[in-house]
Amino acid sequence: MTVLLSFIILVLLFVVLVLVAKASEISAELKGKFDYIQQSRLNGYLLIGFLVLMFAGSAFAYKELAPVMLPKSASLHGIATDRLFNITTIITVAVFCVTQAALFYFAYRYNESFGHKAYFYPHNNTLEVVWTVIPAVVLTFLIAFGMYEWFKIFNVEARDKNALVVEVTAKQFNWIIRYPGQDNKFGKRVIDKEHISPTNELGIDWTDKGSHDDFMADKLYLVKDRPVLVKIGALDVLHSFYLPHFRVKMDAVPGIPTEFYFVPTMTTEEMRQYLSTQPWWQTINPETGEPRWKTFKYELACAELCGKSHYGMQKEVVVVTQREYDEWLKNQTPVYSTMTPKEAPASPQPAEPVKTAMLTR
């Protein structure tokens, strides 16, 4: 009923608008000539009004939203790319203000209602060279800075040999997280019909001794200040391994392994302490009844459309100190040890698969 009513109101509104518009046109025509000058004057003021509104709106949006815009970076390279982001922001905001102001001010100042003649001015080579060279110089700086950081992130030679290695495999709609265990070496995976089965989706070769201390984890555990190399893969379709707080994103591609190397710089606990000083995070979370920062957690998300529950591929990421990590490591049970001799090769099911109930919420 309300839908029907609002529909009728809408139609009536349209009819009224059209009639008013038509009437104004007819009255203009009755006066003899369609009065564009009057309209130009009005629109000149309106455009200036819009310019003011746009600047005020942008400033307001910045004030309100900037604090929640990007989560604080918790990785080494993230601090650098954030710096580049901020520098780019400063440059683009400056260009935005100058060009938008010029555009709308000229539109107002030189509209025909002021009654002056247009100035025939087809080109000016000096001017054009200037506004080609200035952007070129600024862009060269941004390109150089960007490339420098980019190559630093993907510099394979500079990697720490003792980095933590984790394997993350994506599938519809979950992440399988495998740790190499005490030996820091993964057991071999064989991609054939013999090895891959519903109970062994990764195709782990249980005859490989290296697999015997490998374990699966429900959360991605990382160590503060210890580099980590994440080996990324996918079983079925494209996914993307996205850690928003760590400025990490890398596609997970079936059949093609990818990886990302980075250094976490803040433990979960340290991030909570930091957030406890931030106004938004001090507000109460209605679900827990506590300040938001208390339950803060790092998260892993999927950033490549992978099907109907793409938005549900969440995993918690925990950053701890090396000591806490060692403690945690001791309590993990290798998959191999849980299998009966007959059963091996047996099922490394990822703990707690994403529940459909949650997904369709």
Does residue 50 touch another protein according to CB under 8 A? yes
Task: Pick between residue 153 and residue 329 the one whose CB is nearest to another protein.
Answer: 153
Does residue 76 touch another protein according to CB under 8 A? no
Report how far residue 167's alpha carbon sits from residue 162's, in angstroms, rounded to the nearest whole number: 15
Does residue 103 touch another protein according to CB under 8 A? yes
Does residue 250 touch another protein according to CB under 8 A? yes
Does residue 276 touch another protein according to CB under 8 A? no
CB of 51 to another protein, least distance (A): 9
Residue 325, Cα to own-chain centre: how many angstroms?
28
**Nearest C-alpha neighbor of 274 from the set 287, 262, 265, 285:** 265
Q: Indicate which single residue of 12, 22, 338, 352 sits in contact with another protein (rule: CB under 8 A).
A: 22
Does residue 278 touch another protein according to CB under 8 A? no
CB of 269 to another protein, least distance (A): 16
Does residue 58 touch another protein according to CB under 8 A? yes
Does residue 90 touch another protein according to CB under 8 A? no
Report how far residue 97's alpha carbon sits from residue 62's, in angstroms, rounded to the nearest whole number: 14
Detail the DSSP E strand segments found in 124-281.
Answer: 164-171, 174-179, 215-217, 220-223, 228-234, 239-243, 248-252, 258-262
DSSP state of 33: S
Neighbours of 359 (CB within 10 A): 15
Q: Indicate which single residue of 8, 85, 209, 284 sits in contact with another protein (rule: CB under 8 A).
A: 85
Does residue 10 touch another protein according to CB under 8 A? yes
Q: Contacts with another protein in 29-48 (CB under 8 A)?
A: 29, 34, 36, 39-40, 43-44, 46-47
Does residue 352 touch another protein according to CB under 8 A? no
Does residue 147 touch another protein according to CB under 8 A? yes
Does residue 274 touch another protein according to CB under 8 A? no
User: What x/- string results for residues 185 through 224 when contact with another protein is judged by CB under 8 A?
Assistant: ------xxx--xxxxxx-x---------------------
Report how far residue 230's alpha carbon sits from residue 150's, in angstroms, rounded to the nearest whole number: 17
228 and 76 Cβ atoms separated by less than 8 Å: no
Does residue 258 touch another protein according to CB under 8 A? yes
CB of 237 to another protein, least distance (A): 4
Report how far residue 346's alpha carbon sits from residue 197's, in angstroms, rounded to the nearest whole number: 9
Does residue 269 touch another protein according to CB under 8 A? no
Does residue 291 touch another protein according to CB under 8 A? no
Does residue 245 touch another protein according to CB under 8 A? yes
Q: Indicate which single residue of 118, 286, 337, 357 sits in contact with another protein (rule: CB under 8 A).
A: 118
254 and 237 Cβ atoms separated by less than 8 Å: yes
Does residue 282 touch another protein according to CB under 8 A? no
> In the block, which residue shows the tokens 């780019």?
88
- 151 upstream amide cis, omega within 30 of 0: no
With the CA atoms of 138, 140, 146 and 149 taken in that order, what torsion angle do they form, in degrees rounded to the nearest 10? -120
